[in-house]
Structure 1
Amino acid sequence: MKLGVFLVLFGGRPFEEALDLAAAQGLKAVEIGTGGFPGTAHCNPDELLENKAARDQFKRAVESRGMIISALSCHGNPLHPQKAIAKEFHDTFVKTVQLAELLEVPVVNTFSGCPGDHEDAKYPNWPVAPWPNDFQEILTWQWDNKVIPYWTEWGKYAADHGVKIGLELHGGFSVHTPATLLRLREAAGEVIGANLDPSHMWWQGIDPVQAINILGRAGAIHHFHAKDTSLDPINVNKYGITDMQPYTSMLDRAWQFRTVGYGHDLKTWADIISALRLIGYDYAVSIEHEDGLMSIEEGLTKAVRNLQSILIEDAPTEAWWV
C-alpha cells in the first residue's frame, strides 16, 4: 500500500509547493482535485486537456518527487434536479475522465449524486425512512429514472477510457452505504466501486472493517480515504446521527471529523489496514484531513505518523512457519 494525501488540503499553496509539502512527509501518492467541490487549485482540466506539454510537466512534477497520482477527484452532484447545476458537475466529471486517461491515472473519485423527488424538483431529496410510503416511491423513482440510467451510461464511458469510478459513500447522496454501492455496481458494472472513507461509515453506525469485507469480497474498493470520526454519546442521544448542525459547532455536534487516531485508536486502524490487505487491496491510503481542532500541518503530520506505524507496505511472504 502507498500512503498518500488528498492534496486539496494545500489548496492555498502553488502546486509544486504543495507536492513538496507532501513529499517532505514521506508520502508516496497524491489525490488531486479537478473541480466540483474539491476545486481546481492544482489542476484545471480545461488547460491540461489542450496542452500535452503542460500535462507532461504536471505528471513529471509528481513523479520526480517519488510519488504517483492515485486519483483525480471531482466530487459533485451530476444528478442535481436543477439542470444547470447538474450539467456543470457532469461536464467536470467527463473532462476528469478524459484527463485521467491521458495522465494514466486509474481512478476518478466523485459522489453518486442525489436527484430530486420528481422531474421538476429544485432541490435534492435524500430519503432516509421507509415509511410513510411516499419515501419508498421517491427512492424507486430516483433509482429507476436517474441513478441507474446515468451511471450505466457514464460508467461505460469511463470504462471505455480505461478509468474506474470511485464513489465516496457519503450521507446526502444516493450511494452512501455498502449495500447502495453494490446495488449500483450490479446495475452499471464493475467500473463502479467505492472510494471508501471510514469516517462516513462510523457516523452512519457501520463498522468500517465489515464494510471492507462486504465490498472487498466483491472487488468493489477502487480507492481508500483515511479520515477519522469521533462520536459524542450525549449529543448523539440528543441530535441523532443525522445531526444537521454545522461542522463548526463542534462542542454540540453528535459527531465530528478527526484526524486519524483521534476518533478511534490505532488498534482499530490496524484492523482496517489488515482488512484491506486481507481482501487484496494494495493501493493508496489517501489522508483526508478535515479536523477542526488541528491546523493543516499538525493534523496531517499526526495522521502520517499514526498511519506509518501500522501501514502494511510490503507484499506478504510465503507462510514459512508451516
Structure 2
Amino acid sequence: MKLGIFMVLFGGRPLEEALDYVASKGIQAVEIGTGGNPGNAHCKPEELLENKTKLTEFKRAVQSRGLTISALSCHGNPLHPQKALAQADHDDFVKSVLLAEQLEVPVVNTFSGCPGDHEDAKYPNWPVAPWPNDYQDILKWQWENKVIPYWTEWGKFAAEHHVKIGLELHGGFSVHTPGTLLKLREAAGEVVGANLDPSHMWWQGIDPVEAVKILGHENAIHHFHAKDTTIDPVNVNKWGITDMQTYDKMMDRAWQFRTVGYGHDLKTWADIISALRLVGYDYVVSIEHEDGLMSVEEGFTKAVGNLKQVLIEDSAADMWWL
C-alpha cells in the first residue's frame, strides 16, 4: 500500500509548493480535486484537456517528485433536482473521467448524488426511515428513475475510458452504506465501487473492518480515505447519529471528524489496514483531514505519523513457518 493525501487540504498553496511539502513528509501518492465540492485549485481539467503542453507539465510536476496520482476527485450531486446544479456536477465528472484517462489515473471519486422526491422537486430528499410509507415510495422512485439509470449510463462511459468510479459512502446521498453501494454496483456494473472512508462508517454505526470485508469480498473497493470520527457518548443520546447541528458546534454535536488516531486508537487502524490487505486491496490510503481541533499542518502531520506505524507496504511474505 502507498500513503497518500487528498490535496484539497493544501488548495491555498501553489501546486508545486504543495507537492514539495507533502513529498517531504513521506507521501507517495496524491488525490487531486477536479471540481465539485473539492474544487479545482490545483487542476482545471478543461485547461489540461485542451492544452497538451500544460498536461505534460502537470504530469511532470507530480512524477518528478516521485509521486503518483491515486485519483481525481469531483464530489458533487449530478442527480440534484435543480437541473443547472446537476449539470455543473455532471460536467465536472465527465471532464474528470476524460482527464483521468489522459493521465492514466485509474479512479475518479465522487458521490452518488441524491435526487428530489419527484420530477419538479427543488431540493434533494434523503429517505432514512422505512415508515411512513411515503419514504419507501420516494426511495423506489429515486432508484428506479434517477440513481440506477444515471450510473448505468455514465458507468459505461467511465469504463469505455478505462476509469473506475469510486463513490464515497456519505450521508445525505443515495449510496451511503456498503449495502447501497452493492445494490448500485449490481445494477450498473463493476466499474462502480467504493471510495471507502471509515469516518462515515463510524457515525452511521457501521464497523469499518466489517465494511472492508463486505465490499472487499466483491472486489468493490476502488479507493480508500483515511479519516477518523469520534462519537460523543452524551451528545449522541441527545441528538442521535443523524445530528443536524453544524460541524462548528463541536461541544454539542453527537459526533465529529478527527484526524487519524484521534477518534480511534492505532490498534483499530491496524485492524482496518489488515482487513484491506486481507481482501486484496493494495492501493493508496489517502489522508483526508477535516479535524476542527487541529490546524491543516498539524492534523496532516499527525495523520502521516500515525498511519506510518500501521501501514502495510511490502508484499506479503511466504509463510516460511509452514
Q: TM-score normalised by the shorter chain: which range applies?
A: over 0.9
Give 3-state SS (helix, strand or coil) of 1:286's partner.
strand
TM-score normalized with structure 2 length: 1.00
In the other structure, the counterpart of 2:214 is 214
Shift of 1:21: 1.1
Shift of 1:198: 0.1
Deviations 1:217-271 (A, max 9, x none): 0000000000000000100000000000000000100000000000000000000
In the other structure, the counterpart of 1:306 is 306
TM-score normalized with structure 1 length: 1.00
Shift of 1:46: 1.0
Matches for 1:143-222 after TM superposition, within 5 Å: 143-222=143-222
In the other structure, the counterpart of 1:113 is 113
Shift of 1:53: 1.1
In the other structure, the counterpart of 1:103 is 103
Structure 2 CA distance for aligned equivalents of residues 250 and 92 of structure 1: 32
> Structure 2: which amino acid aligns with 1:250?
M
Shift of 1:317: 1.1
Give 3-state SS (helix, strand or coil) of 2:20's partner.
helix
Matches for 1:1-322 after TM superposition, within 5 Å: 1-322=1-322
Aligned length: 322
Give 3-state SS (helix, strand or coil) of 2:234's partner.
helix
Structure 2 CA distance for aligned equivalents of residues 274 and 52 of structure 1: 41
Deviations 1:292-315 (A, max 9, x none): 000000000000000001100000
Shift of 1:62: 0.7
The runs of at least 4 aligned residues of structure 1 exceeding 2 Å deviation read none
Structure 2 CA distance for aligned equivalents of residues 24 and 84 of structure 1: 41
> Structure 1: which amino acid aligns with 2:109?
N
Deviations 1:95-135 (A, max 9, x none): 00000000000000000000000000000000000000000
Deviations 1:145-194 (A, max 9, x none): 00000000000000000000000000000000000000000000000000
Structure 1 CA distance for aligned equivalents of residues 274 and 172 of structure 2: 29
> Structure 2: which amino acid aligns with 1:310?
V
Shift of 1:6: 0.1
Structure 2 CA distance for aligned equivalents of residues 289 and 24 of structure 1: 18
Shift of 1:282: 0.4
Give 3-state SS (helix, strand or coil) of 1:292's partner.
coil
Shift of 1:80: 0.1
Q: Which runs of 5+ in 2 are unaligned?
A: none
> Structure 1: which amino acid aligns with 2:18?
A
Identity of aligned residues (%): 79
Give 3-state SS (helix, strand or coil) of 1:309's partner.
helix
Structure 1 CA distance for aligned equivalents of residues 29 and 235 of structure 2: 36
Structure 1 CA distance for aligned equivalents of residues 253 and 40 of structure 2: 30
Give 3-state SS (helix, strand or coil) of 1:233's partner.
coil
